[in-house]
């Protein structure tokens, strides 16, 4: 016998999942499961099953009431409809359906008490009532909380106990006890399944929240790291301004007194700005993080990155003109970090892949391109998972300079990183 295809098995699993768990999802705007069903027929499947169950149970109930219990045909039809039709409502409102069915069952027991064919037959509940009631218990157990299930079970037992007190010699002993035990077992089983599904749903929600928090924390950490690096760049410019303003009265002869005071004010403002930047850096720096003691790298050190990548076993080549012209320090640093992270990703996730690094400038924009092919050998990467800082850092650096970033896999199994960094960022309106 051939096994079912994966698509067929997946459809069967989806159908059973929706059929079994749709009842456990509260109705209304907050119902997530039915809204997330993969197709319309899956969303309608519980209603179709309920309709088929009612359509098969209703005529059998009428037949049993008329032929076995000798109930009048019109009365039997009305009573059977009241006992079975509410099962359609149980898909969305099981507790309300239970109230209707319980009232109809009690009324049916009273009708059967005066019927001629009740002698020697199950009473107060007929076999069809037991079957329909247990089906209703499935819907109630998958929807309602523990206290409601306990109340439903106790009401079921109390109804049977009250009928046990009736002076009816024709009843079949033990039917109410059987229904009490079976309904309790069904409620216990379905209630346990519902609580397990709720626990799994809460776990998935918590994992989603945790993943979002991790992504947010990664983004904030990367922004703080970029800010610390930019501090060195800006601090260098401010230091130059301070030195030039302090030395201007000595380098330029014949300055009027107003110009000397202006230079002195500029130097004082620059020193104050440096102090405020150091305070800001102290806030951004994490506990135990030491300050950088070396100048921030730039494109002049990209050749060293490529050589280190080659020593790590990745055949890499660099294409970069000898003179790129005047590149702003922020763009220079961002380009270096993008190349650094891209090459690190190649070493971690595509060991042995041929890699090409290209850096070019058109006078107003710097273009950085890192392209690698598929791994040279079919082997596991050095790292199966990363911290997520790489692409986040690239995007933040490109956003900082007002550029664009394009990353993604290639048809041959490789990967491409393309960044375009303008030299002059437009000021916001």
Residues 2-61: pLDDT tens digits? 444 545 555 555 554 544 544 444 444 334 444 444 456 667 777 888 888 888 888 888
* Last residue in a domain, options 166, 186, 209: 209
User: In this structure, are strands 365-372 and 316-319 parallel, antiparallel, or unpaired?
Assistant: unpaired
* Last residue in a domain, options 160, 186, 209: 209
Higher-pLDDT residue of 277 and 307 is 307
- The span from the CA of 20 to the CA of 162, in Å, is 34
Contact 379, 351 (CB under 8 A): yes
Residues 187 and 251 in one domain: no
Contact 52, 28 (CB under 8 A): no
Residues 50 and 123 in one domain: yes
Residues 371 and 275 in one domain: no
- Whether the per-residue pLDDT at 358 is higher than 90: the answer is yes
Q: How confident is the model at residue 116 (pLDDT cuts 50, 70, 90)?
A: low
pLDDT of residue 417: 93
pLDDT in tens, 203-236: 888 888 888 888 788 777 777 777 777 776 777 7
Host domain of residue 257: 219-284
Q: Is residue 214 part of a domain?
A: no
How would DSSP label each residue in 295-357?
PPP-GGGHHHHHHHHHHTT--EEEE--S------HHHHHHHHHHHHHHHHHHHHHSTT--EEE
DSSP secondary structure letter of residue 425: P
Q: Which residue has the tokens 């921030």?
A: 296
- Whether the per-residue pLDDT at 153 is higher than 80: the answer is yes
* Last residue in a domain, options 284, 307, 326: 284
pLDDT in tens, 47-72: 888 888 888 888 888 888 887 777 77
Residues 416 and 388 in one domain: yes
DSSP secondary structure letter of residue 23: G
pLDDT of residue 7: 57
Residues 26 and 160 in one domain: yes
Contact 170, 120 (CB under 8 A): yes
pLDDT of residue 427: 45
Residues 34 and 137 in one domain: yes
Q: Is residue 1 part of a domain?
A: no
Total domains in the chain come to 3
User: In this structure, are strands 365-372 and 415-422 parallel, antiparallel, or unpaired?
Assistant: antiparallel
The residues that bridge with 319 in the sheet, in sequence order, are 358
Q: Is residue 149 part of a domain?
A: yes
Give pTM, 2 decimals: 0.46
Residues 405 and 372 in one domain: yes
What would the mean pLDDT of 353-376 be, rounded to a whole number? 89
Which of 126-130, 183-187, 286-290, 297-301 has the weakest average pLDDT? 286-290
Q: Is residue 337 part of a domain?
A: yes
Q: Is residue 241 part of a domain?
A: yes
Q: Is residue 40 part of a domain?
A: yes
Of 170, 158, 104, nearest to 133 by C-alpha is 104
- Whether the per-residue pLDDT at 428 is higher than 50: the answer is no
pLDDT of residue 25: 46
Residues 42 and 176 in one domain: yes
Contact 218, 388 (CB under 8 A): yes
Tell me, what CATH number does 414's domain have?
3.30.565.10
What would the mean pLDDT of 74-81 be, rounded to a whole number? 83
Residues 11 and 138 in one domain: yes
- The span from the CA of 15 to the CA of 182, in Å, is 26
The residues that bridge with 405 in the sheet, in sequence order, are 419
List the end-to-end C-alpha distance of the chain, in Å, as a whole number: 71
Residues 171 and 277 in one domain: no
Query: For the chain, what is the mean pLDDT?
Result: 77
Radius of gyration of the chain (CA): 39
Residues 323 and 356 in one domain: yes
Catalogue the E-assigned strands of 204-264. Answer: none
Q: Of the spans 74-83, 84-93, 409-418, which averages the highest pLDDT?
A: 409-418
Q: How confident is the model at residue 371 (pLDDT cuts 50, 70, 90)?
A: very high
Q: How far is CA 390 from CA 225, 314, 353, 354, in A?
A: 12, 19, 19, 20
Q: How far is CA 123 from CA 83, 117, 282, 329, in A?
A: 15, 11, 83, 92
What would the mean pLDDT of 407-428 be, rounded to a whole number? 82
Q: Of the spans 144-148, 225-229, 268-272, 278-282, which averages the highest pLDDT?
A: 144-148
Q: Is residue 150 part of a domain?
A: yes
Q: Is residue 121 part of a domain?
A: yes
pLDDT of residue 384: 41
What would the mean pLDDT of 127-140 be, rounded to a whole number? 86
- Whether the per-residue pLDDT at 283 is higher than 70: the answer is no
Residues 96 and 234 in one domain: no
Token pair for residue 83? Answer: 């006992």
């Amino acid at each position: 016998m051939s096994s079912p295809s994966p698509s067929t098995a997946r459809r069967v699993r989806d159908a059973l999942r929706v059929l079994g768990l749709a009842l456990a999802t509260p109705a209304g705007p907050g119902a997530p499961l039915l809204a997330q069903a993969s197709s319309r027929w899956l969303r309608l499947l519980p209603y179709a099953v309920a309709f088929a169950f009612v359509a098969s149970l209703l005529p059998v109930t009428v037949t049993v009431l008329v032929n076995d219990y000798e109930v009048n045909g019109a009365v039997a039809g009305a009573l059977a409809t009241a006992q079975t039709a509410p099962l359609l409502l149980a898909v969305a409102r099981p507790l309300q359906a239970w109230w209707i069915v319980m009232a109809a069952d009690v009324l049916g027991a009273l009708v059967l008490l005066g019927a001629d064919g009740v002698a020697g037959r199950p009473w107060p509940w007929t076999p069809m009532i037991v079957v329909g009631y247990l089906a209703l218990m499935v819907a109630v157990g998958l929807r309602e909380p523990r206290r409601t299930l306990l109340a439903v079970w106790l009401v079921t037992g109390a109804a049977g106990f009250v009928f046990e007190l009736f002076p009816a010699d024709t009843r079949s002993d033990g039917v109410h006890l059987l229904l009490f035990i079976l309904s309790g077992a069904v409620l216990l089983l379905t209630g346990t399944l519902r609580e397990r599904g709720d626990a799994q749903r809460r776990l998935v929600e918590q994992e989603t929240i945790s993943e979002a928090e991790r992504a947010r924390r990664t983004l904030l950490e990367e922004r703080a790291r970029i800010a610390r690096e930019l501090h060195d760049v800006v601090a260098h410019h401010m230091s130059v301004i301070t030195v030039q303003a302090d030395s201007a009265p000595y380098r330029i002869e014949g300055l009027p007194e107003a110009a000397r005071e202006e230079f002195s004010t500029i130097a004082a403002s620059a020193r104050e700005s440096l102090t405020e930047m150091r305070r800001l850096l102290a806030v951004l720096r994490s506990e135990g993080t030491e300050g950088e003691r070396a100048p921030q790298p730039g494109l002049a050190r990209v050749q060293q990155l490529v050589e280190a990548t080659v020593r790590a076993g990745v055949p890499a080549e660099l294409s970069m003109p000898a003179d790129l012209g005047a590149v702003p320090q922020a763009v220079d640093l961002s380009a270096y970090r993008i190349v650094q992270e891209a090459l690190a990703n190649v070493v971690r996730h595509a060991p042995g892949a041929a890699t090409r690094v290209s850096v070019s400038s058109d006078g107003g924009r710097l273009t950085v391109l890192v392209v690698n092919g598929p791994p040279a050998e079919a082997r596991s990467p050095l790292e199966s998972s990363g911290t997520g800082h790489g692409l986040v850092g690239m995007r933040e650096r490109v956003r900082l300079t007002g550029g664009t970033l394009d990353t993604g896999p290639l048809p041959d199994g490789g990967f491409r990183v393309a960044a375009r960094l303008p030299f002059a960022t437009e000021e916001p309106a």
